[in-house]
Amino acid sequence: MVQAAIELVGINKSFGAVHANKDIDLKIEKGTIHGIIGENGAGKSTLMSILYGFYQADSGEIRVDGRPTTINSPDDAIKQGIGMVHQHFMLVQNFSVIENVILGAEGEALLKSSLAKARSELRRLEREYGLEVSADAIIEELPVGLQQRVEILKALYRGAEILILDEPTGVLTPAEADHLFRILAQLKEQGKTVVLITHKLREIMAITDNVSVMRQGQMVATRKTGETTVEELAELMVGRRVLLRVDKGEARPGEVRLSVRNLTVVDSRGVTVVNDVSFDVRGGEIVGIAGVAGNGQSQLLETISGIRQAKSGQVLLNGEPIDVTGNADPGELRDRGLAHVPEDRHYVGLVLPFEEYENSMLGYHDRDFYLRGPFLDIEAIRADARDKIEKYDIRPPNERLKTANFSGGNQQKIVLAREMEKDPNVLVVGQPTRGVDVGAIEFIHRRLIDMRDQGKAVLLVSVELDEIRALSDRILVMFDGRVVGERDSDADEGELGLLMAGVESREAAE
């Protein structure tokens, strides 16, 4: 028998009427990488929050190394050798790496002495686990992949033997994700236990030893990864067979709906982030923009949708100009038939303290449908929200729940439902399935294809190259703010990868 690092026995947790965890039993073997998967809202993050002390279970028992343990706070978890790397990093942005690592664990009366000891320990951890990062670098100046390494170093510095990672690749490029997996393998070799919460089945198959599947708050199966398949895991997650490919017919492009000409955008630091970009999107096609995050895609979408001002260039919507170098109004663009699903749902797409029904009509609140004379028709708004909840399978199905209390994937569906259901001529969508589970991804992809087939023009940005290749009829590749190539949807993945790295052809690479 392999010794268990963690055992959860009969764990129950409710939030009001929502039973988030129902009689959960889970055994995580020591020195393994154990995946936990499930649809958005399945209860996996709640379960790990109980293990880390953010929540306390209503009933049940936690055992660490075979011993019954009470964990009432993250400090209790850390004392038990449990560390957690959160989906949204818990770092002080204007502190250095070493200051973040020792924050709350200084251990000495004099900070200078603590920093000296920490610097020596960091060097050891970096060598042992391949976690190289400059101790004196400022967090806000580091790319996301290195910030994640700092979070892992924080946990290891505090003596973590069990490391929980919540959706760790959601903000990483493919290359950064590959490097993370190498780090996790190294942690396992050194005897650490890793718990990986993710919705990406390919990652589960690539890196884990065992995988547990949650559905609707219950643990429905645990498998040895080598003895299961992506298809079986998807079916266990969703409770039905899932189509793991995008099923679409030939595109039938019509008139140009969105035209971008010589668009240049400069950010607040004076850096050119979009450099002389030109392209068209026709009704009845999906044009995908591929590229590593940070190469101008975000600023391009913000400019087209009226959020950001351009330095120069022209954008035409249904043949009529948008005042992108002046004062483009996102509300006016919505009235002219442009809908925008922003990349960052928290900061741009939603007001998290609002109830679900309020977010479901945000930006469209002046439409006649939502009004009774000069006032908002609250019952009509709530009824419309309930319709969207049912159509998009938003969970829990409660339009009065605060949006902050929905899982990330269900928050994404709230934004998608709001924008797609307004029947736009042009849909500009950034990262449509970020943080979304396999069943919801299938649904969102089908809706995007349906919009294309209805003659809508869709401009899609995603860091998921598989998603770009599966959905797009044409693919533009951005690097360093420029469009460096255009390819058909059947383009070779390796060639697209080279373009994303700024290499314009295989020949140039050789």
Burial class (CB in 10 A: 0-12, 13-18, 19+), 49: buried
- Measuring CA to CA, which residue among 179, 151, 144 is closest to residue 165? 151
Q: Given a cut of 60, is residue 509 above it in pLDDT? A: no
Instruction: Using alpha carbons, list the distances in angstroms from residue 119 to 96, 109, 125.
Output: 12, 17, 10
Query: Which neighbouring-strand residues pair with 85?
Result: 165
Q: Given a cut of 60, is residue 274 above it in pLDDT? A: yes
Least confident of 98-112, 227-241, 404-418: 98-112
Would you say 97 and 139 are in contact if contact means Cβ atoms under 8 Å apart?
yes
Q: Given a cut of 50, is residue 327 above it in pLDDT? A: yes
Would you say 97 and 149 are in contact if contact means Cβ atoms under 8 Å apart?
no
Average the pLDDT over 316-323 and give the result.
96
The pLDDT score that the predictor gives to residue 212 is 97
The pLDDT score that the predictor gives to residue 2 is 73
Tokens of 247: 């099923």
pTM over 0.85: no
Average the pLDDT over 111-140 and give the result.
83
| Average pLDDT of the chain, as a whole number | 89
Which residue would you say has higher pLDDT here, 411 or 112? 411
Would you say 62 and 142 are in contact if contact means Cβ atoms under 8 Å apart?
no
Average the pLDDT over 265-271 and give the result.
90
Query: Considering the chain, what percentage of its residues have pLDDT values greater than 90?
Result: 62
The pLDDT score that the predictor gives to residue 506 is 41
- What are the extents of the domains in the chain? 4-238, 256-509
Band (507; pLDDT cuts 50, 70, 90): very low
Is domain 256-509 annotated with CATH 2.170.120.30? no
pLDDT tens across 382-429, in order?
999 999 999 998 988 999 999 998 877 889 999 999 999 999 999 999
pLDDT tens across 127-155, in order?
888 888 888 999 988 877 788 889 999 99
Band (112; pLDDT cuts 50, 70, 90): low
**Best CATH choice for the domain 4-238 from the list 3.40.50.300, 3.40.50.2300, 3.20.20.150, 3.40.50.20:** 3.40.50.300
pLDDT tens across 39-48, in order?
777 888 899 9
Q: How far apart are CA 46 and CA 12, in angstroms?
A: 10
Query: Considering the chain, what percentage of its residues have pLDDT values greater than 70?
Result: 95
- The reply to whether domains 4-238 and 256-509 share a CATH topology is yes
Band (371; pLDDT cuts 50, 70, 90): very high
Q: Given a cut of 90, is residue 301 above it in pLDDT? A: yes
